[in-house]
A and B are shown apart, each in its own frame.
Chain A
Amino acid sequence: MLSYIIKRIFIAIPTVFILIVASWALMKLAPGGPFSSERPIPPQILANLEARYGMDQPEWKQLWDYFYNIVVHFDFGPSFKYKDRDVNDIIAQGFPISMTYGALSFVVAVGVGVCLGIAAAINHNSWLDYFAVSLGIAAQALPNFVMAPILIFVFTLKLDWLPGGWYGGQWQYLIMPVIALSTSFMGSISRITRSSMLETLNSNFVRTAQAKGLPTRTIIWRHAMKPAMLPVLSYLGPVFVAVLTGSVFVDMYFSTGGLGQAYVGSALQRDYSVLLGVTILYGVLTISVNLLTDLAYAWFDPKIRY
């Protein structure tokens, strides 16, 4: 197991390297630069700016300096747009907020989705089942960019119950973004859980357990749960990544102060360092989550050994 983890980490290093070089190349290929604007900056002032940000150096040197500063100083460079701050500041400030929304949405999507799916499977063809299935389909058809305006319209404008945005550090501010972000994933998870649980409940070992006279609760929680969760588990990796990217929209829509705004803004403004820094962060997160998912597999399925 340990050697497997170490091996995966060693594979991750070149992956991140390729990610950085590819992002760098794409970024530099896009027309325009961080200093182009409606009001073109006079050549002398542009030269001063480029010198200050090291953009007067050849591309390979810039890339080398970038790697060097990350590896040696863990410094992702200054922001081109937000001149009072550097990339480390921006990530340190925005990431915990995005993570709070992301993690909560993930927990809500998985928690509610799995419970709903199991409840539906156990009470197969009952009103609860139909309710759960319709709710799941409805939720799946409501991506965050549809949910967010609906929520704001109802709870902020019409009912005046919840604040329309910003992250105040209080629970009221979390409700709408978390609902918006988790709804569609919750829908998919509940449907996957339901069908997988139904399949498991019809399998031979469950029938054997029933024949043995085990109570239903024990059958479900001790025996059916783990195998039923495998398809859900393989879906969680993509869900986590989708929650992260979805949080970009939610950050922008609810003005949470999370990384989403900085990320989108940096792409539009060609704020190279911020764009790269956040891309690397999301890349590393995605790789780590995939590793965790694979490890969790081994725990759920005794047939898998690394």
Chain B
Amino acid sequence: MTSKTLFGALLATTIMASPLYAAGMHPSTGEALADDQTFTYRVLDEHSSVDPQVVEDVSGSEIVRDLFEGLMNQSADGSLIPGVATSFETNADKTVYTFHLRDNAKWSNGDPVLASDFVYAWQRAVDPELASPYSWFMEIMSIKNVSEVLAGDMAPTDLGVAALDDHTFQVTLSTALPYFAQMTTHATTFPAPRATIEAHGKDWTRPENIVSNGAYVLTTHEPNERSVRERNTMYWNNDATIVDKVVALVINDENVAMTRFLAGELDRTEIPSGQYPRLAEEMPEKVVVAPRLCSYYYNVNLTDGSGNPALQDVRVRQALSMAIDRDIITKNVTAGGQYPAYTFTPAATADFSVPEVKAATMSQAERDASAMALMAEAGFGPENPLDLSLVYNTSEGHKKIAIAVSQMWKQKLGINVELSNQEWKVFLETRGNQDYEVARAGWCGDYNEASTFLDLVQSGSGYNDSKYVNPEVDALLTEAKTLDNPQPNYTKVEEIIARDVPIIPIYHYAINYMMDTDLGGWPVGNVEQNWYSRDLYKIAE
């Protein structure tokens, strides 16, 4: 070896070993990284809690996903990737799931993350004494004995979970659930540090007490103002984490948040309603729009006593649905990249294919003609107009949509629509008690599978505000839970509800963000918007 090549080899080794070089570049994209790896974003409201078993809101769950790590995680496109568990297997009838945990996972105090931490957390989630508002999630996970434990008839220790050894966690289900593993990406199922919780009680989530096993630890919490989480050096995959610090600012007013984004104080905020077209034109590089797992729809009250008798007639319901011009609503009213909806489950849902329902294939003129014919058939016309009331929860956005819809119904079908709005909690009570005729509704999936939407039209569901009862739908949905491929059943259910119209789908939501161009790694393709700060990075300007 000549001295020249030796020098070259030495130089190359030095460069490769230099941490500065490695830190300055993104390992897979090769983009230059900023020196200050701080990600600052806006949240609408103060989070309810950062206790994984207690948290119930979106902004709290975002923080909990950074602080804690569950059995499985989601990738940028929402598919399942290993978390604390490296793999899992199920028995033949899919009622027993066995998760194998990695042996290098640690809590932020250095203790290993063990299967018993999951057993403790899952028992804790259903303990009536903790009374977690999200214990219903454990119930829909169909874990053995979960209902008995929630009712207080069995002890939490009787829940169907067990630590076979330090790194093997087993769950026994009461019924087979094909999408069970997907549900372990939800905050309620994350492990909990028993010693810390027992030492500090409800104060265990304070920055000075909290112990967590995720990529970040909570370092500051100024309620109603901000919370700060910083890199957890004990995290098993800490070397791959790029963002050092994540700051969540509570800003109630979306326009203030927008101003502060423009002033450079924030890396991400939501686009205020109505501003999307202007912003998309002025700064298209900062506007992010993608499908989201949420549906906007109207409930039709189908009960005999309290609803409008005319709504018992399926032709009237079909006419109401047909007469709504979804294109006008998504293009001119909401104008935020939403997708017109003729069926309930969003097309973005994993493995779900939207059925070709008749209304979706027609032009609006055809739909209008068909709606008018249906109304005439049902006995309503200019001399005998239908009176209808439509209620929505107080909000500028819902109001605009309700006005547009009522105008469409008035012009095309001659319906006299009485609009009313109610404050949120009053509205929930009105709708939940079927004290309405047509009511606004919205639903976001709890997990990425069509049943999280379609369960709403099951007759026994507590969320079935239309009180729709169809034994065929019930049978199809019950059967779907045991099938290897339940998708044909879901498609069939969509076809039935498109015909029966217990609900009137209007649009599917879109992600609507203003995002700084120097923020990389945002999982735009994750329709549930389950993002993890450890996947993000700040690009050098």
Residues of A within 8 A of B (CB): 30-33, 35-42, 44-45, 48-49, 51-52, 81-85, 90, 93-94, 149, 152-153, 156-157, 160, 163-167, 251-258, 261-262, 265, 268-270
Q: A83-B51, A157-B262 are in contact. Are A48 and B252 (CB under 8 A)?
A: no
In the complex, number of A-B residue pairs with CB atoms less than 8 Å apart: 144
Q: Are B223 and A265 in contact (CB under 8 A)?
A: no
Decide if B48 touches A83 in the complex (CB within 8 Å): yes
A218 to chain B, nearest CB (A): 49
25 example contacts (A-B, Cβ-Cβ < 8 A) are as follows A31-B426, A31-B430, A32-B428, A38-B442, A41-B136, A45-B132, A45-B139, A45-B150, A48-B150, A49-B131, A82-B46, A82-B223, A84-B202, A93-B222, A153-B259, A156-B259, A157-B262, A164-B263, A166-B222, A166-B249, A167-B222, A252-B252, A257-B222, A257-B223, A269-B425
> A165 contacts which chain B residues (CB < 8 A)?
249, 251, 256, 260
Q: Is the CB of B428 within 8 A of A48?
A: no
B337 to chain A, nearest CB (A): 23
Name the A residues within 8 Å of B177 (CB-CB): none
In the complex, B397 has a CB within 8 A of chain A: no
> In whole angstroms, what is the CA distance A184 to B433 when docked?
45
B285 within 8 A of A: no
Distance (Å) between the CB of B64 and the closest chain A CB? Answer: 12
Count chain B residues whose beta carbon lies closer than 8 angstroms to a beta carbon of A.
53
Residue on A nearest B203 in the bound complex, by CB: A84
Binding site for A on B (CB under 8 A): 45-46, 48-51, 54, 128-129, 131-133, 135-136, 139, 147, 150-152, 202-203, 205-206, 222-226, 249-253, 255-256, 259-260, 262-265, 423-426, 428-430, 432, 442-443, 462-463
CA of A257 to CA of B252 in the docked complex: distance in angstroms? 11
B127 (CB) vs chain A CBs: closest residue: A48
Which residues of B have CB within 8 Å of A45? Answer: 131-133, 135-136, 139, 150
Chain A residues whose C-beta falls within 8 Å of the C-beta of B256 in the assembled complex? 149, 152, 164-165, 253-255
B147 pairs with A30, CB closer than 8 A: no
Chain B residues closer than 8 Å to A82, beta-carbon distance: 46, 48-49, 223
**Contact in complex: A35, B462 (CB < 8 Å):** no
Q: Is the CB of A44 within 8 A of B150?
A: yes
A159 CA to B291 CA, complexed, in Å = 36
Q: Which residues of B contact A252 (CB under 8 A)?
A: 252-253
Contact between B135 and A48, CB atoms less than 8 A apart:
yes
Contact (Cβ within 8 A) B462 A31? no
Q: Nearest residue in B to A39 (C-beta to C-beta)?
A: B463
Chain B residue at minimum C-beta to C-beta distance from A37: B428
Nearest to B255 among chain A residues (CB) is A149
Chain A residue at minimal CB-CB distance from B393? A38
Chain A residues, CB < 8 A from B150: 44-45, 48
On whether the beta carbons of B131 and A52 are closer than 8 Å, the reply is yes
**Closest A residue, CB atoms, query B206:** A84
Structural contact, B428 and A255, CB atoms closer than 8 A: no
Bound together, the chains give a CA A39 to CA B423 distance in angstroms of 16
Assess A32 versus B426: contact at CB under 8 Å? Given A48-B128, A83-B49, A165-B256. Answer: yes
Q: Are B225 and A255 in contact (CB-based, < 8 A)?
A: yes
- Report if A265-B442 is in contact (Cβ < 8 Å); known contacts: A32-B429, A163-B265, A164-B259: no
Give the chain B neighbours of A40 by CB distance below 8 A.
Answer: 428, 432, 462-463
Q: Which residue of A lies closest to B424 (CB)?
A: A268
